[in-house]
């Protein structure tokens, strides 16, 4: 098993261990963190979906591998054990979902809910397994990469030179933007020195935890962005006809300078759009009769690079992002609603800086961190708060 595959599997396994262990070990904090929610059917469904997703990801990464070296066999065995644990927990949660359908079951913590179908000793055994898996993970990963670093060194006349060659190959194969992987490989290289095994194992453990957290955060960011989207969010933009290039050139001219060839009679004055873009004035009002081409003009402006170039006059060190939403009294509920307006604008804007999602949507982030998926509909208060933050 190549180091990249081993690192990916180890990260996926650790995410399962952290999610499951955190879910069961939390007590009163869970009730407070999840925006006052009690554990009910929606939360149980989110837990099931999360465990299923983790299990599928591990299965895909394993890809039928059985392992050749002992380290590879240990990784496969660990993955199979974690997937079995997921299956047992999913079965238990499915039983809890049946219980909530038969009666108004509401629990303050997931562990309290789990006691309805499992004995306390069974829950403790599961926690012990999680702890054992976590302890095994670092040493197994360390052994796997050590095997790769030392490959063919027995026949090599210069063992250190061969190890450095293997090290370079492994580092070159790692995913870009994942420094934690390189840190683990370098820590493994240090473990080959006499007496360095304990320090290397600690370094591997810390880097693996950081990597798993990074991947988990990236996943929550993608899910939050995806939940802001709605089916026909871009439908109106795509339905508006493209403007002929010369039809709206007048909007970038100074008033009185346009001719009839540019699509606007010079006898009708207007405020300079270019001047407004370069100023700090809050609103530029465009009005006209139905069918006059207001939407076509706005589509033209939203796609024209000259808008951004003029905005950069006052940009300084602040980033500029543009978003668009076409709102009128027809179409689907989301296309006509203020909720759809904010979801669309936030999705387009926040996509440019997903690292801010945790700060902008703290309650939703905490809910996902506890239960995994979050299928709750967006509310006006949380959207408007994020919009003004």
pLDDT of 156 reads: 57
Token output for 117? 């179908």
Residue 237 has pLDDT above 90, yes or no: no
pLDDT of 268 reads: 62
In 10 A of CB 26, how many CB atoms? Answer: 17
Residue 349 has pLDDT above 50, yes or no: yes
As a whole number, the mean pLDDT across the chain is 83
SS3 215: helix
pLDDT of 261 reads: 47
pLDDT of 199 reads: 86
Non-local (6+) Cβ contacts of 189 within 8 A are 149, 163, 167
Q: Which among 36, 114, 9, 54 is positioned nearest to 373, based on CA atoms?
A: 54
- Gyration radius (Cα) of the chain, Å: 28
Q: Which among 89, 95, 103, 106 is positioned nearest to 31, based on CA atoms?
A: 106
Q: What's the pLDDT band for 94 if we cut at 50, 70, 90?
A: confident
| Start-to-end C-alpha separation, the chain | 46
pLDDT of 31 reads: 45
Can you tell me the mean pLDDT for 232-255? 77
Q: What's the pLDDT band for 62 if we cut at 50, 70, 90?
A: confident
Residue 118 has pLDDT above 50, yes or no: yes
The top-scoring range by mean pLDDT among 70-79, 107-116, 253-262 is 70-79
Residue 182 has pLDDT above 80, yes or no: yes
Residue 258 has pLDDT above 60, yes or no: no
Non-local (6+) Cβ contacts of 205 within 8 A are 138
pLDDT of 260 reads: 46
In 10 A of CB 126, how many CB atoms? Answer: 19
Q: What's the pLDDT band for 54 if we cut at 50, 70, 90?
A: very high
Q: What's the pLDDT band for 176 if we cut at 50, 70, 90?
A: confident
Residue 331 has pLDDT above 90, yes or no: no
Q: What's the pLDDT band for 105 if we cut at 50, 70, 90?
A: low
pLDDT of 17 reads: 93
Contact (Cβ atoms closer than 8 angstroms) between residue 23 and residue 112: no
pLDDT of 358 reads: 94
Q: Which residue has the higher pLDDT, 277 or 237?
A: 277
Question: pLDDT, tens digit, for every residue of 259-286?
Answer: 544 555 555 667 889 999 998 888 898 8
pLDDT of 44 reads: 85
Q: What's the pLDDT band for 342 if we cut at 50, 70, 90?
A: very high
pLDDT of 153 reads: 67
Mean pLDDT lowest for which of 30-39, 67-76, 92-101, 244-253?
30-39
Q: Which residues pair with 39 in a beta bridge?
A: 107
Angle, CA 358 vertex, CA 356 and CA 359 arms, to 5°: 70
Residue 240 has pLDDT above 70, yes or no: yes
Token output for 261? 């060839």
Helix 362-371 crosses helix 3-25 at what angle (to 10 degrees)? 100
Angle, CA 200 vertex, CA 197 and CA 202 arms, to 5°: 110
% residues pLDDT > 90 (the chain): 31
Can you tell me the mean pLDDT for 165-178? 86
Residue 242 has pLDDT above 90, yes or no: no
pLDDT of 366 reads: 87
Q: What torsion, rounded to 10 degrees, do the Cα atoms 29, 31, 35, 41 define?
A: 140
pLDDT of 28 reads: 44
DSSP secondary structure of 361-378? SHHHHHHHHHHS---PPP
Exposed/middle/buried for residue 231 (C-beta within 10 Å: 0-12, 13-18, 19+): exposed
Mean pLDDT lowest for which of 38-52, 71-85, 123-137, 256-270?
256-270
Contact (Cβ atoms closer than 8 angstroms) between residue 323 and residue 348: yes
pLDDT of 158 reads: 78
Token output for 296? 């076509």
The 8-class DSSP code of residue 192 comes to T
Can you tell me the mean pLDDT for 249-268? 64
């Amino acid at each position: 098993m190549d180091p990249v595959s081993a690192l990916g599997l180890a990260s996926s396994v650790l995410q399962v261990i952290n999610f499951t262990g955190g879910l069961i070990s939390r007590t009163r904090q869970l009730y407070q963190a999840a925006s006052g929610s009690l554990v009910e059917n929606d939360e149980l469904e989110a837990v099931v979906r999360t465990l299923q997703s983790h299990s599928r990801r591990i299965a895909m990464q394993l890809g039928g591998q059985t392992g050749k070296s002992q380290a590879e066999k240990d990784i496969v065995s660990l993955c199979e054990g974690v997937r079995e644990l997921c299956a047992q927990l999913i079965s238990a949660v499915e039983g809890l979902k049946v219980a909530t359908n038969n009666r108004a079951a509401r629990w303050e913590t997931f562990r309290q809910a789990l006691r309805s179908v499992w004995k306390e000793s069974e829950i403790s055994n599961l926690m012990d397994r999680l702890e054992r898996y976590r302890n095994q993970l670092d040493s197994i990963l360390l052994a796997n990469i050590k095997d790769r670093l030392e490959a063919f060194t027995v026949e090599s006349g210069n063992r250190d030179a061969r190890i450095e060659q293997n090290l370079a190959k492994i580092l070159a194969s790692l995913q870009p933007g994942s420094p934690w992987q390189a840190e683990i490989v370098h820590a493994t290289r240090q473990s080959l020195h006499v007496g360095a095994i304990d320090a290397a194992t600690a370094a591997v453990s810390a880097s693996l935890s950081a990597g798993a957290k990074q991947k988990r955060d990236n996943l929550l960011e993608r899910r939050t962005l995806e939940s802001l989207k709605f089916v026909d969010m871009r439908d109106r933009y795509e339905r508006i006809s493209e403007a002929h290039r010369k039809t709206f050139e007048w909007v970038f001219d100074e008033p009185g300078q346009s001719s009839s060839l540019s699509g606007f009679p010079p006898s009708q004055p207007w405020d300079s759009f270019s001047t407004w873009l370069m100023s700090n004035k809050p609103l530029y009002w465009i009005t006209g009769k139905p069918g006059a081409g207001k939407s076509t003009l706005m589509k033209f402006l939203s796609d024209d690079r000259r808008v951004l170039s003029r905005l950069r006059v006052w940009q300084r060190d602040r980033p500029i992002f543009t978003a668009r939403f076409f709102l009128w009294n027809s179409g689907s509920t989301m296309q006509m609603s203020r909720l759809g307006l904010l979801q669309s604008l936030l999705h387009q804007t926040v996509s440019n800086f997903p690292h801010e999602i945790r700060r902008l949507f703290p309650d939703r982030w905490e809910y996902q961190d506890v239960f995994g998926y979050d299928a709750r509909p967006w509310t006006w208060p949380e959207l408007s708060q994020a919009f003004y933050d």
